[in-house]
Amino acid sequence: MFEGFDALLLARIQFAFTVSFHFIFPAFTIGLASYLAVLEGLWLWSGRAIFLDLFHYWIKIFALSFAMGVVSGIVLTYQFGTNWSVFSDRAGPIVGPLMAYEVLTAFFLEAGFLGIMLFGMTRVGKGLHFAATLAVAAGTLFSAFWIIAANSWMQTPVGHSISSSGQFVPTDWWQIIFNPSFPYRLIHTVLGAYLTTALVVGAVGAWHLLRAPNNAGARVMFSMAMGMVVSVAPIQAVMGDFHGLNTLKHQPTKIMAIEGHFESYPGGAPLYLFGFPDREAAAVRYPLAIPKLGSLILHHSFTAPIEGLKTVAREEWPPVGIVFWSFRVMVGLGLLMIALGGLALLARIRGRLYEWRILLLFAVAMGPAGFVAVIAGWVTTEVGRQPYTVYRLLRTAESASPLDAPAVASSLLAFIVVYFAVFSVGAWYILRLMSHAPAMAEPGLESGDVPIRTAGITPASAIDPDRTIGAKRI
């Protein structure tokens, strides 16, 4: 199956596969943890039972997603060493402490309070329980903070020197953490996670509204989700623009690849809407371009000159096609999200938010869009950094472990088989939970007679009461 691949390429595929797969879960749980905190806060503030019902509805889904995020995340801690040992040796003094801080501040905080959040509603006071929910939500954000600090440093490395043995030696931790691209990347990623969650919540709400237009829980979740989409999607577009300008300043070749600019345009560059970049021929085939728009977007001027990939050596070029397309997927989905938010706003003004079938169907279709956009964005930024792991300082080809291709190939195959087997079962459970309409007095995780367990572990009957009854019938 993997003949003709070298160990380096296989290691890259393996990393891309395991990281993308893992990233699905945090992209969802970051937003969901905050959403749960908002629901609980609204319940405590207003006393309306419906917020508690929704809290109970989504916490079951959260528990499952979180558990899968944890097991897929452990793999990554070790993969730096198994497949990227030279990178680990050289960049370890900087990337390692940032990841260690992630474990110490985020993972243990989450593990510490998840049990109370999931099962403690009837055992600790309301205030303490809310504090636990906030702690878990904060933990997910701390986790994002540290991991993006590490990733951003690899994109825009500063605050270090290089030792005689080739190691990156930290000289200023403040600069390393708050490196030039970090603020943009953190905000863009966290907003992306919030949008991802809002789209999922909106799709579930819309789905149940299509079936039962008067379901009160579905109305609230749809209304909240659309409120989030309409307010955040445009902000995200603006943030994306700022992030792009930052990337232009610090990683110009990435922008050239995103834009498909092989040539230089002294009098203003076009924007390629579509086309097929041909890296060998250094040209975009079948282009659909709008003249001067590229300069307008990047420099806010129609005639600003823009340099192309031909001004840099070919071995500095990232894979143009992947970056070009993944960026368009992300932006295209972002525009659809703005459209969805706009339609929802229109429907709300006209008082038809819960009845307009086209809007509801659109919202259902957009349910998975956040995941696709987040992964496409991640591919754009990571592949765009190529051929470097630490931009302009350490090449990917020089980062890999001294391994034989069969070793990497067999482990890659094992990861693919196991991930699809295990996580498709988990996804099936989540979808089944979502297919169940939110009910009045929605049972929480504490109910049911199966033993209560903590830390992302959820008893069967509490997760899905129908299932246990069904099983007894069988």
Partner 1 sequence: MDLATLWAFILAFAIFTYVVLDGFDLGIGILFPFLQPGRHRDLAMNSVAPVWDGNETWLVLGGGALLAAFPLAYAIIMPALYAPIVAMLLALIFRGVAFEFRWRDVRHQKIWDFSFAGGSMLAAFAQGIALGALLQGVAVEGRQYSGGWWDWLSPFSVLTGVSLVAGYALLGSTWLIMKTEGSLQEHAFRHARISGIVTVICIGAVSLATPFLEEAYYEHWFAWPNVLFTAQVPLLVAIVTVALAVSLTRRYERLPFVLGLSLFALSMAGLGISIFPNIVPSRVSIDDAAAPRSSLLFMLIGAGILIPTILAYTAYSYWTFRGKVDHEGYH
Instruction: Please give the residues from 376 up to 405 whose contact with partner 1 meets the rule CB under 8 A.
Output: 401-404
Q: Which is nearer to partner 1, 41 or 112 (CB)?
A: 112
The dihedral of CA 105, 111, 117, 120: what is its sign?
negative
Q: Which of 85, 223, 264, 396 binds partner 1 (CB under 8 A)?
A: 85
Residue 86 makes contact with partner 1 by CB under 8 A: yes
Find, among 448, 440, 446, the residue nearest to 469 by Cα: 448
Q: How far is the CB of 28 from partner 1 (least distance, A)?
A: 16
Q: Which of 46, 48, 103, 291 binds partner 1 (CB under 8 A)?
A: 103
Question: Does 74 sit near partner 1 (CB under 8 A)?
Answer: yes
Q: Does 131 bind partner 1 (CB under 8 A)?
A: no
Spatial contact of 7 and 403, defined as CB atoms under 8 Å apart: yes
Distance from C-alpha of 168 to C-alpha of 98, rounded to nearest angstrom: 14
**For residue 449, what is the DSSP state?**
S
Q: Does 130 bind partner 1 (CB under 8 A)?
A: no
What are the CA-CA distances from residue 81 to residues 11, 91, 92, 158, 399 (Å)? Answer: 11, 11, 10, 23, 10
How near is the Cβ of 130 to partner 1 at its closest, in Å? 18
Helix, strand, coil fractions of the chain, as percent rounded to 5:
70, 5, 25
Task: Figure out which of the listed residues 9, 19, 71, 296 binds partner 1, where binding follows CB under 8 A.
Answer: 71
Q: Are 306 and 261 in contact (CB under 8 A)?
A: yes
Interacting stretch for partner 1, rule CB under 8 A, among 73-81, 184-192, 298-306, 336-344? Answer: 73-81
Contact mark string toward partner 1, 148..177, x via CB under 8 A: ---------------x-xxx-xxx-x----
- Give least dist CB 156 to partner 1, A: 19
Taking alpha carbons only, the member of 439, 441, 463, 436 closest to residue 49 is: 441
Q: Is 175 helix (H, G, I), strand (E, B) or coil?
A: helix
Sign of CA dihedral 23, 220, 45, 442: negative
Residue 391 region by backbone torsions, left for phi larger than 0, else alpha for psi between -120 and 50, else beta: beta
Among 19, 426, 430, 443, binds partner 1 (CB under 8 A): 426
Which one among 273, 312, 414, 440 touches partner 1, defined by CB under 8 A?
Answer: 414
Binding piece for partner 1, criterion CB under 8 A, among 214-222, 257-265, 373-381, 423-431:
423-431
Min dist. Cβ of residue 431 to partner 1 (A): 14
Residues 174-193 that bind partner 1 (CB under 8 A): none
Q: How far apart are CA 314 and CA 149, in angstroms?
A: 29
Q: Is 474 in the site for partner 1 (CB under 8 A)?
A: yes
Site for partner 1 in 110-129 (CB under 8 A): 111-112, 114-115
User: Under the criterion CB under 8 A, does residue 250 sit at the interface with partner 1?
Assistant: no
Q: Is 97 in the site for partner 1 (CB under 8 A)?
A: yes
